[in-house]
Amino acid sequence: MDQPVRQPAEPSGPMEYDPASVAGKQPPIADETDLLVIGAGPAGLAAALAASNRGVRVTLIDENPVPFETMGEEIPLHFGCRMGTVMANRNAMLEALLESTPELADALEAGVDVRLGTVAWGLFPQRPTAAWIDGCVAGLADEDRAYLLRFKQVIVASGSRDMGLAFPGWERPGVMGASAAYRLAMTYDALSTRVAVVMGSSTAALQIANELSDKGVRIAAVIEQGETVTGDAALLAHLVAGGTQVLTRHVIERAEGATGSGEVEAVTVVAVDANGRHWKDELKRLACDTVLLGIATVSAIELLEAAGCDTAFIPERGGHVARIDEAQRTSLPFILAAGDCTGTWAAKSVAPSIARREGRIAAAAALSALGVNDHEVAYEAPVVPDTAYTDPADERCAWVRASVIEAVGEPYVCQCEEVTAAEILLVRPPRYIGWDSKKDDEHPHTLAQLAGDGPPNPDIVKRLTRACMGPCQGRRCREQVAALMSIGSGTELAAIPLATFRSPVRPLPLRQLAVLEEVPELGKHWDSWFGMASQWVPFWRPVPLYTAAGRERGTAVASE
Amino acid sequence: MTAQQRQTDHPGPHNGVPKGATAAAGAAVIIVGGGVTGLSAGWWLARAGVDVLVLDAGLIGWGASGRNGGGCSHHHSPLFLEEQRLWPMMDELLGYPTEFRPNRIRIALDEHQFLLYRRALDNGAVHGLRSDILDPRQVRELVPFAGDNVFGGYFYHFGGHANPHRTLQAYAWAMQDHGGRLLQHTNVTGFTTNGEHVTGVNTNRGHIACDHLVLAAGLHTGELAAQLGVDVPLASARAEMIVTEPLPPMNIGGVDGNGLYGRQTLRGNLAYGGGPHEWIDLADANRQRPHSTPLQCSIAARVAGLFPKVAHARVIRSWAGFIENTPDGRPIIDQPGQFDNLTLATLSSVGFGLSPASGHAIRDLVIDGRCSFADLSSFALSRFANLEPDWRALQGWLPLASQPASQPASQDSLAPLGT
């Protein structure tokens, strides 16, 4: 592909384009493809297969198998240290992945460039204000490398994760996301859990509980803060028949372990009223080694949002998703989305065929954009969410009220930065500053005051309290923080702006990012901010009348 | 869907009137721009008993004020001594934490850097401030993350660093504690004047009268001043930074060098930026949030070079920011002659560390008509009297062309999906 040196928009008169700028310094592009598919779940695999053998290059990447160490840091899912020892053996994981996902072999057979253990940490389309790299590139990383792949179209099928929910003891090993357990059990047969309780009763949570039950995990209880179970009755009945207790209007009061930070050995559940207040005399202890957080499925939109796709809180899709049209296209014409990252609903969580259909529709739209004659592509009806759904905003806020706000003691909502709900609601500075906040008590500053007339912005709360700012990149707390802000400010959750995502959307070591190639020109001028000698002339020297033509050039001068 | 609507998360100017907004009462001084410069000026004025109102088109600190390296060591500036005098007192003066920590170490990995970084020593010496030259062993003793690649370094016994987010909020809260007012989501659409006198600003909340107007609106200072017929030459650019996971805090967090600016935060994160910038069109800055690019890898490479002992540290975020520059890179803090009650302020991409002093200078200009503590003649607008009209082109400061690829998809453009 041509890589023309970028030229200024309107060259005029004798000029040299600013040598200290990014112009002409774009990094080498390691590889190119026509269609990049991110995520080899049902949607991504269906998309890659549908686009294969159509005369375009198709590249399918998937982050699995994720390095054991990364999983231990609750990335990309909340694994709660329940990875069996086999997970440390990368080759065994790879074999298990290929065995449990036979479509990967189909994709290879069909000529798809399949790259496993490869994560996309950013999508970087050329745009006004970021135009120095031509076309669209994806930042990719495998075990040791980081490199850029140029693409023409991308289908993001990055799946979903589980909303975190704080309660005393939720930091203990054994508290984990329901879909993390599903991943370990179904993809790798490596879930080390014997007895679990499930928080949440959506169809998605009940479906996972049934699958795990079939794998030999005893599901001791389904715990639901609401008055009734929200998910599929048949799935619930199947669990109950196997001995599962159903505890509605209950939350976990605490998870207990043998030692202060030991693994979960039991949970104490408490009855709650409609406002989430605990009935202290109605406590019940359940022995279990695992708590499955299944209160809400969260679409994994970090790549899409960071790339600049339009997003919105769409209740029938379960929360914040990238806006898509009937052809699965996002607001950016080279980015499509399919699968759970475009939203989840009950029917979709039990039928992977829906995600596959989304993948095929996205593939057809991408092929069309690539100029492939699509007359042989079978028509697929657009995918629409269930018309009946439980409002995810109400549900999330109710869980946060009953579990987090009403908690005995103050569990950390943000485990990485150790921030409590009260600290978020009162916008307290973090404890490591050692700030004596007497004055804060005299002049309380509230979430509402920070925002003025607008809705409170999570990015401000992040800046001031450090919540969501830790190494798990807010995966376990960002939805809780948004719900707290909704409750604390009396603003509807859907109106709370989505906290921004930033690349790299996966934590990556300095030395790994450093592997990315540079052109030699990029190394020049680092010592001088904007390369302007005049900016740093000490003030006690005379300042002559300034002209652009007469400016000082070519002098190396350090900036401050 | 328009491009503007697409950026739902961009807290920039709102066209509509905020829900529940009422027209604001007039103020003795209106400051347009809730960045560190405007808010520091607001705080200085409020504590002097002046009825001050700060307006921001979106949320405070959403521009460069919330996206910089936090350095407080500007020995070339006429505001330097006031900057150095004030920072150690700021927590107490404001009543809120800034996370300021004094002193700075700069590491050179080669002779070229070592020579360049000497200038801070020379400039400090002019003011009688001490700096030590460090050999590689001394650098490694002071900076546990440094490695065998050190050529030399400097320990400047002045300057320091603070947390920009916390400082910005401290200015706002402290100003409000003194009776100053802040209105966010307030977009200035024009001005009213009477001869040589600015009488007020027009906003999406209606007209707000003032006796004095301060423009400290970052990128937008030039276009706002132009509405008053005052030419403030500015160009906008995008720059990038990265931040790592927290590491054990070093005794001195204010360590930079190897072409980077930044610090280890009190929490322990390494927050560093640097490298080439990208010139942008101001109109695009209103539509797009600043996006980071693969330049983050080049920054990471240089942080790994600066601190090889922690090259394993994981990068957990990056960010980009839009910043304005004057043609010579020096600030403008001045009162143009066309008006008797207008003060302009742009710190030209180096404003955070100087903000305690720049706010003081603006307070002095507004109240007394002259700065009490520094000679601001090098910040005068008049130095651009002979500036060429096409100075941006002559300096090569024009936005790069981009493919018109980022048009939003619309229902109209739906391609037929087979038949």
Say whether both A186 and A132 belong to one domain: no
- pLDDT tens, residue by residue, B228-273: 999 999 999 999 999 999 999 999 999 999 999 999 999 999 999 9
A433, A454, A525: residue with CB nearest B97: A433
A16, A122, A546: residue with CB nearest B387: A546
**Cβ atoms of A398 and A276 closer than 8 Å:** yes
**Distance in angstroms (rounded) separating the CA atoms of residues A534 and B112:** 19
Whether the ω angle into residue A76 lies within 30 degrees of 0, i.e. cis, is yes
Of A344, A369, A394, the residue that ends a domain is A369
In this prediction, residue A260 has a pLDDT band, given cuts at 50, 70 and 90, of: confident
Average pLDDT over residues A158-175: 98
- A331 interfacial to chain B (CB closer than 8 Å): yes
**Distance in angstroms (rounded) separating the CA atoms of residues A370 and A318:** 31
**Cβ atoms of B188 and B57 closer than 8 Å:** yes
Q: Which two tokens stand for residue A85?
A: 């020892």
Domain assignment of residue A489, yes or no? no
Domain assignment of residue A156, yes or no? yes
Domain assignment of residue A381, yes or no? no
Average pLDDT over residues B274-299: 95
- A10 interfacial to chain B (CB closer than 8 Å): yes
**Distance in angstroms (rounded) separating the CA atoms of residues B149 and A38:** 39
The pLDDT assigned to B11 comes to: 45
- pLDDT tens, residue by residue, B160-201: 999 999 999 999 999 999 999 999 999 999 999 999 999 999
Instruction: Please check the confidence at residue A15 and state whether its pLDDT lies above 80.
Output: no
- Count of domains in chain A? 2
Domain span holding position A174: 164-295
The pLDDT assigned to A329 comes to: 98
Under an 8 A CB cutoff, do B318 and A439 touch? no
Instruction: Please check the confidence at residue B7 and state whether its pLDDT lies above 70.
Output: no
**Distance in angstroms (rounded) separating the CA atoms of residues A400 and B83:** 45
Domain assignment of residue A434, yes or no? no
**Residues pairing with A153 in the sheet:** A35
Say whether both A175 and A224 belong to one domain: yes
Say whether both A89 and A179 belong to one domain: no
**Cβ atoms of A326 and A338 closer than 8 Å:** no
- pLDDT tens, residue by residue, A323-335: 999 999 999 999 9
Which of chain B's residues have a Cβ under 8 Å away from the Cβ of A540? 126
Residues carrying CATH 3.30.9.10, chain B: 120-158+235-325
Tell which wins on pLDDT, B403 or B227: B227
Q: Compute CA distances A506 → A141, A282, A297, A473, whole Å.
A: 10, 42, 19, 8
Q: Does domain B7-100+162-233+328-399 have CATH number 3.50.50.60?
A: yes
Nearest CA to B294 out of A142, A521, A136, A544 is that of: A136
**Distance in angstroms (rounded) separating the CA atoms of residues A360 and A367:** 10
Q: Which residue has the tokens 């492939």?
A: A372
**Cβ atoms of A497 and B11 closer than 8 Å:** yes
Which of chain B's residues have a Cβ under 8 Å away from the Cβ of A308? 7, 288-289, 291, 406
Helix axes A478-489, A392-399, angle to 10 degrees: 90
A130, A375, A432: residue with CB nearest B278: A130
Helix axes B164-177, B355-368, angle to 10 degrees: 30
Under an 8 A CB cutoff, do B9 and A432 touch? no
Q: Compute CA distances A329 → A156, A160, A378, B349, whole Å.
A: 10, 18, 18, 38
A126, A464, A560: residue with CB nearest B402: A126
Instruction: Please check the confidence at residue B417 and state whether its pLDDT lies above 60.
Output: no
Sign, CA dihedral A521-A526-A527-A528, equals positive
Instruction: Please check the confidence at residue B41 and state whether its pLDDT lies above 50.
Output: yes
- pLDDT tens, residue by residue, A383-438: 999 998 999 999 999 999 999 999 998 999 999 999 999 999 989 899 999 887 65
- Amino acid symbol at A365: A
**Residues pairing with B198 in the sheet:** B193
User: Considering only residues 109 to 168 of chain B, which have any Cβ-Cβ distance to chain A shorter than 8 Å?
Assistant: 112-113, 116-117, 119-120, 123, 126, 165-166
A435, A453, A504: residue with CB nearest B19: A453
**Residues pairing with A161 in the sheet:** A298
The pLDDT assigned to B22 comes to: 57
Instruction: Give me the percent of chain B exceeding a pLDDT of 90.
Output: 88
Say whether both A276 and A320 belong to one domain: no
In this prediction, residue B413 has a pLDDT band, given cuts at 50, 70 and 90, of: very low
Instruction: Please check the confidence at residue A444 and state whether its pLDDT lies above 70.
Output: no
In this prediction, residue A379 has a pLDDT band, given cuts at 50, 70 and 90, of: confident
Under an 8 A CB cutoff, do A500 and B397 touch? no
What's the mean pLDDT when you consider all of chain A?
Answer: 93
Instruction: Please check the confidence at residue A467 and state whether its pLDDT lies above 70.
Output: yes
In this prediction, residue A455 has a pLDDT band, given cuts at 50, 70 and 90, of: confident
User: Considering only residues 507 to 546 of chain A, which have any Cβ-Cβ distance to chain B shorter than 8 Å?
Assistant: 507-511, 513-516, 518, 522, 525-527, 529-530, 532, 534-540, 543-546
Q: Which two tokens stand for residue A518?
A: 């540079």
Say whether both A91 and A168 belong to one domain: no
Helices (H) and strands (E) in chain B, counts: 13, 17
How far is A25 from chain B, CA to nearest CA, in Å?
9
Say whether both A291 and A304 belong to one domain: no
Which of chain A's residues have a Cβ under 8 Å away from the Cβ of B153? none
User: Considering only residues 43 to 82 of chain A, which have any Cβ-Cβ distance to chain B shorter than 8 Å?
Assistant: none
- Amino acid symbol at B199: T
Instruction: Please check the confidence at residue A441 and state whether its pLDDT lies above 60.
Output: no
Instruction: List the CATH number of the domain containing A302.
Output: 3.50.50.60
- In CATH terms, the superfamily for domain B120-158+235-325 is D-Amino Acid Oxidase, subunit A, domain 2 (3.30.9.10)
Q: Which two tokens stand for residue B21?
A: 């907004």
Domain assignment of residue A16, yes or no? no
Of A295, A321, A337, the residue that ends a domain is A295
What's the mean pLDDT when you consider all of chain B?
Answer: 91
Give the three-class secondary structure for B59. Answer: coil
Residues carrying CATH 3.50.50.60, chain B: 7-100+162-233+328-399
- pLDDT tens, residue by residue, A198-229: 999 999 999 999 999 999 999 999 999 999 99
Under an 8 A CB cutoff, do A534 and B329 touch? yes
Instruction: Please check the confidence at residue A348 and state whether its pLDDT lies above 50.
Output: yes
Of A260, A277, A295, the residue that ends a domain is A295
A419-420/A412-414 β-pairing: antiparallel
Which of chain A's residues have a Cβ under 8 Å away from the Cβ of B327? 546, 548, 551
The pLDDT assigned to B247 comes to: 98
Instruction: Compute φ and ψ for A233, nearest 5 degrees.
Output: -65, -40
**Distance in angstroms (rounded) separating the CA atoms of residues B261 and B242:** 11
Which of chain A's residues have a Cβ under 8 Å away from the Cβ of B310? 510
Instruction: Give me the percent of chain B exceeding a pLDDT of 70.
Output: 91
**Cβ atoms of A472 and A74 closer than 8 Å:** yes
How far is C-alpha A398 from the geometric centre of its chain's CA atoms?
A: 22
- B313 interfacial to chain A (CB closer than 8 Å): yes
Which of chain A's residues have a Cβ under 8 Å away from the Cβ of B302? 526
In this prediction, residue A529 has a pLDDT band, given cuts at 50, 70 and 90, of: confident
Instruction: Please check the confidence at residue B54 and state whether its pLDDT lies above 70.
Output: yes
Q: Which two tokens stand for residue B61?
A: 């600190």
In this prediction, residue B6 has a pLDDT band, given cuts at 50, 70 and 90, of: very low
**Cβ atoms of B295 and B276 closer than 8 Å:** yes
- A554 interfacial to chain B (CB closer than 8 Å): no
Rg, Å, chain A Cα set: 26
Instruction: Please check the confidence at residue A449 and state whether its pLDDT lies above 90.
Output: no
**Chain B interface, mutation test: which of A529, A534, A540, A555, most B Cβ atoms within 10 Å?**
A529
The CA-to-CA distance between both ends of chain A, in Å, stands at 40
Domain assignment of residue A265, yes or no? yes
- pLDDT tens, residue by residue, A172-189: 999 999 999 999 999 999
The pLDDT assigned to B8 comes to: 34
Domain assignment of residue A376, yes or no? no
**Distance in angstroms (rounded) separating the CA atoms of residues A516 and A509:** 12
User: Considering only residues 277 to 306 of chain A, which have any Cβ-Cβ distance to chain B shorter than 8 Å?
Assistant: 305-306
Under an 8 A CB cutoff, do B293 and A433 touch? no
Nearest CA to A374 out of A382, A385, A384, A366 is that of: A366
Say whether both A139 and A287 belong to one domain: no
**Distance in angstroms (rounded) separating the CA atoms of residues B227 and A288:** 69
The pLDDT assigned to B96 comes to: 94
The pLDDT assigned to B200 comes to: 98
Say whether both A289 and A332 belong to one domain: no
- B349 interfacial to chain A (CB closer than 8 Å): yes
